[in-house]
């Protein structure tokens, strides 16, 4: 129903997910996964990407190697190690998502504590 007084609620803290929200990194995941599959003459398509979305990394990796039929050549764990290595070389080139800088500067100017949560480091950065 919302606040009938017309006052906006006070924002006391903000937790951001870094990948795909603050930094434009999603394209790197697709690029790396396409590169890995190209070695096996396979392609990475939207239907596979959709199946992997929202899963924990190891679960998505299992789907990736099983659905593409490369599980005999590459385990889910080895896929994650290889993908992470490739991503680490690409992440420094990532750009901020539109509006991210302005939002962060605004929150900082208002003294709102900011925290980054990301699966990429296995936890929370602050």
Domains recognised in the chain with CATH numbers? 1-25+96-126 (no CATH), 26-93 (1.10.150.240)
pLDDT, mean of residues 117-124? 55
Averaged over 10-38, what is the pLDDT? 87
Catalytic residue from among 3, 17, 24, 78: 17
Whether 24 is catalytic is no
* Helical (H) or strand (E) element with 115: strand 114-118
CA distance readout (Å), 78 to 38, 62, 81: 16, 11, 5
User: What's the Cα-to-Cα distance from 12 to each of 26, 100, 111, 116, rounded to whole Å?
Assistant: 29, 18, 9, 15
**pLDDT of 108:** 93
Determine whether 3 is an active site residue.
no
Catalytic residue (one of 19, 24, 45, 72) = 19
pTM exceeding 0.75? no
| The predicted structure's pLDDT at residue 3 | 58
21: exposed, middle or buried (Cβ count in 10 Å: 0-12, 13-18, 19+)? middle
């Amino acid at each position: 129903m919302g606040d009938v007084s017309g006052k906006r609620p006070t924002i006391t803290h903000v937790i951001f997910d870094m990948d795909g929200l603050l930094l434009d990194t999603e394209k790197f995941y697709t690029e790396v996964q396409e590169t890995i599959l190209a070695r096996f003459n396979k392609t990475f398509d939207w239907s596979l990407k959709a199946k992997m979305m929202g899963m924990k990394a190891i679960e998505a990796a299992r789907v990736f190697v099983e659905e593409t039929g490369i599980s005999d050549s590459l385990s889910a764990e080895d896929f994650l190690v290889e993908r992470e290595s490739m991503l680490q070389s690409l992440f420094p080139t990532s750009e901020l998502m539109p509006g991210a800088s302005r939002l962060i500067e605004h929150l900082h100017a208002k003294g709102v504590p900011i925290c980054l949560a990301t699966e990429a480091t296995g936890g929370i950065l602050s």
